[in-house]
Amino acid sequence: MAADEPSAAGATIHVLRRALEELVGVNVVASALKKLPPKVREEFDPVTPMTWVPLTTSIMAVEFIAAEAHRHPDDLMDEAVRRGAETMFRTSWRLLLRFTTDRALIARTPVLYSKWRNIGQLESKLLAPNRAEILLRGWPGVSERNVRTLGVSIETVLRLAGRRAVRVEWTRTPDGARYLAFWR
């Protein structure tokens, strides 16, 4: 992997794979991964917590798994990202998230992102009660899939932190993306 290639932390890819296996079955995932080009398969399987996996690899893996499961890749990815985030936050993170103010929660978003991706950075601010703006900067040309995945992740973390009726809207920008988050 090139140092500047947009990548995800191995721990998040491991959690994503487990979520996919829960959603479509271990055998479906294994069958789909066998069909990946050898180089891509080697980048996706096996993964360790110290590994960085190119996002193009994880996206291709999800597309192959979705095809094998006869699912739409965006829908499967959204569902897997939600399930993966829930798994990651079932531990002590969940307690930290549930008992925090909106301001503190939004302020932690950039730190969480920096542990999951090797490209770009988030800036976040609380605009008003129950409303935040989160900017992804430093990733010009980010794909729609990656913009959507981050939006789903933000929504899931807010929901897991006890916020209700969470809605996240996103738009691509020349330097990344802009997210507006709303909740009760």
50 within domain boundaries: yes
Q: Please tell me what DSSP assigns to residue 117.
A: B
Element spanning 23, H or E: helix 10-24
Which residue type, as a one-letter code, is found at position 25? Answer: G
pLDDT reported for residue 85 = 87
Quote the CA–CA distance of 158 and 10 in Å, as a whole number. Answer: 23
Domain identity same for 105 and 171: yes
Question: Contact, 161 vs 114, CB < 8 A?
Answer: no
Tell me the CA distances in angstroms from 179 to 122, 123, 133, one per residue in order. Answer: 10, 10, 6
57 within domain boundaries: yes
Q: Please tell me what DSSP assigns to residue 143.
A: -
pLDDT reported for residue 2 = 44
Q: Please tell me what DSSP assigns to residue 86.
A: H
For the chain, state the CA radius of gyration.
16
pLDDT reported for residue 112 = 84
Domain identity same for 16 and 57: yes
Which structural domain range is residue 163 located in? 100-182
Domain identity same for 108 and 84: no
Distance of CA 118 to the CA centre of its chain: 13
Domain identity same for 19 and 83: yes
DSSP bridge partners of 182: 131, 167
Question: Contact, 105 vs 150, CB < 8 A?
Answer: no
Domain identity same for 81 and 121: no
Domain identity same for 114 and 47: no
Neighbours of 101 (CB within 10 A): 9
- pTM, to two decimals: 0.89
125 within domain boundaries: yes
Could you say which residues of the chain have pLDDT below 50?
A: 1-3
Q: Residue 95: which of 177, 160, 21, 168 has the closest Cα?
A: 160
Quote the CA–CA distance of 172 and 71 in Å, as a whole number. Answer: 26
pLDDT reported for residue 92 = 54
pLDDT reported for residue 100 = 78
pLDDT reported for residue 67 = 98
Give me the torsion for CA of 143, 138, 6, 85, rounded to 10°. Answer: -80
Neighbours of 133 (CB within 10 A): 15
